[in-house]
């Protein structure tokens, strides 16, 4: 599988995983420079089906996509990283922590969930059908209200191409395959979250209507000692809309985790 990735900076490695339809550049404007300045090595990549990565025809699987993320770490020569995932990327990050625990130093899960709800399953099925029948542009116009807060939607509509399937850069077949991969998720992930044994921060926007606060609360309850933070006024795409607050919360968390990790390493040496 051909996977395109970007590797910048030095220091503790951080792997960003984008959501459904999203490529690595989702993170490049607001997160990559800020995390580099904070002294982290920042790795982003294009999930299978989008951007410069391969876009195979056929079914996709979230476990397979978690293995893709591990393959990116292998290609970058990174044994383990702080893993940050948003939306579908947050599900992939959860799977990494469950199936590949030795590759994850800490976990940040933003605007994500660990199981399906009936209404969300119906919504995703409608998204896939709309994209398949009418194309990505029609889908993007219809779905924007689920991703962006109402105030931002009114003020900054032209600027939010990055929150659609990367300005419709995902071909219909691979976007639909990603949605179907999400729909194929069962309860097995939820049942295994108690095995996650790394520092975890769960983030949610107070105005997120796609993965509401209850989803974040559930994950934080299932992962031992997980922290929960709510971004006031943030919608599903708060990494862009409220990037200053997202960056602040994550960087403070990583600074604390990194310091604790370094202290433990010195104590054991």
**Which residues are part of the catalytic machinery?**
87, 208, 236
Angle between helices 172-183 and 118-134 (to 10 degrees): 160
Token pair 């708060």 is found at 238
Contact (CB, 8 A) for 137 and 162: no
Q: What are phi and psi of 139, to 5 degrees?
A: -55, -45
Widest Cα–Cα separation across the chain: 60
Contacts (Cβ under 8 Å, ≥6 apart) of 207: 149, 150, 233, 234, 235
Q: What are phi and psi of 3, to 5 degrees?
A: -120, 125
């Amino acid at each position: 599988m051909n996977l395109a990735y970007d590797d910048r900076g030095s220091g503790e490695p951080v792997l960003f995983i984008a959501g459904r339809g999203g490529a690595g550049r989702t993170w490049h404007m607001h997160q990559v420079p800020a995390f580099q300045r904070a002294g982290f090595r920042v790795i982003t990549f294009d999930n299978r089906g989008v951007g410069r990565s391969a876009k195979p025809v056929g079914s996709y699987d979230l476990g397979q996509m978690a293995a893709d993320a591990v393959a990116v770490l292998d290609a970058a020569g990174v044994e383990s990283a702080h893993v940050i995932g948003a939306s579908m990327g947050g599900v992939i990050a959860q799977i990494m922590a469950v199936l590949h625990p030795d590759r994850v130093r800490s976990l940040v899960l933003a605007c994500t969930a660990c199981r399906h709800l009936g209404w969300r399953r119906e919504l995703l099925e409608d998204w896939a059908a709309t994209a398949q029948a009418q194309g990505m542009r029609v889908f993007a116009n219809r779905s924007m209200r689920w991703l962006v807060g109402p105030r931002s939607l009114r003020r900054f509509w032209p600027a939010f191409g990055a929150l659609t399937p990367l300005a419709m850069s995902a071909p219909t077949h691979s976007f639909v395959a990603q949605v179907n991969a999400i729909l194929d998720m069962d309860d097995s992930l939820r049942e295994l979250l108690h095995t996650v044994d790394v520092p975890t921060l769960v983030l949610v926007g107070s105005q997120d209507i796609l993965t509401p606060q209850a989803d974040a609360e559930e994950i934080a309850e299932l992962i031992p000692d997980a922290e929960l933070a709510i971004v006031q006024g943030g919608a599903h795409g708060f990494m862009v809309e409220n990037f200053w607050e997202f960056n602040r919360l994550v960087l403070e968390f990583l600074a604390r985790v990194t310091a604790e990790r370094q202290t433990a390493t010195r104590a054991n040496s």
